[in-house]
Amino acid sequence: MDRRSPYADSKEVTLYGEFTPSNNLKVRCAVSLTEREFIVQRLTSAPARSSKVALSLRDCVGCRAYRKEDKADPAGYFAAYFYPLKRRRVSSRLSRQRVEQCFRLSALQDPHANLEEAEKWARAVRERSARQQQHGDGVLLSRPCRMLLLVNPQSGKGQALTLFNSQVKQMLNEAGVTHTLFITERQNHARELVKGADLSQWDALVIMSGDGLLYEVINGLLERSDWEEAIRTPLGILPGGSGNALAASVHYYSRASPVFGEDLLVSCGFLLCRGLVFPMDLVSVRLPSGQRLFSFLSLAWGFVADVDVESEKYRHFGAARFTIGTLVRLACLHVYRGKLEYLPAAGPPDGWVVVQEQDFVLMLAMYQSHLAEDLLAAPDSSLSDGVIHLFYVTAGISRAALLRLFRAMEKGTHLAAPCQHLVHAKVRALRLEPLSPKGIITVDGEVVEYGPLQAEVHPGLARMISG
Catalytic residues, which ones? 211
Q: Which amino acid is at 139?
A: V
- Which H helix or E strand runs over 281? strand 276-286
In a 3-state reduction of DSSP, which class is residue 321? helix
- Which residue from 84, 122, 107 is spatially nearest to 28, judged by alpha carbons? 107
φ and ψ at residue 372, rounded to 5 degrees: -155, 175
φ and ψ at residue 357, rounded to 5 degrees: -55, 130
Do 53 and 62 form a contact (C-beta atoms < 8 A)?
no
Do 78 and 116 form a contact (C-beta atoms < 8 A)?
no
Strands (E), 106-213: 139-140, 145-151, 177-183, 204-209
CA 218 to chain CA centroid, Å, is 16
Do 292 and 284 form a contact (C-beta atoms < 8 A)?
yes
Which contacts of 193-202 are long-range, i.e. CB under 8 A and separated by 24 or more positions? Answer: 193/150, 193/220, 194/220, 194/221, 194/224, 194/230, 195/220, 195/221, 195/223, 195/224, 197/148, 199/230, 199/233, 201/146, 201/148, 202/146, 202/147, 202/148, 202/233
Residue 165: which residues within 8 A CB-CB, separation 6 or more? none
- Which residue from 161, 226, 173 is spatially nearest to 61, judged by alpha carbons? 173
Q: What share of the chain is helix, strand, coil (3-state, %, to 5)?
A: 30, 35, 35
d(CA 115, CA 49): 31
d(CA 425, CA 148): 38
CA 125 to chain CA centroid, Å, is 25
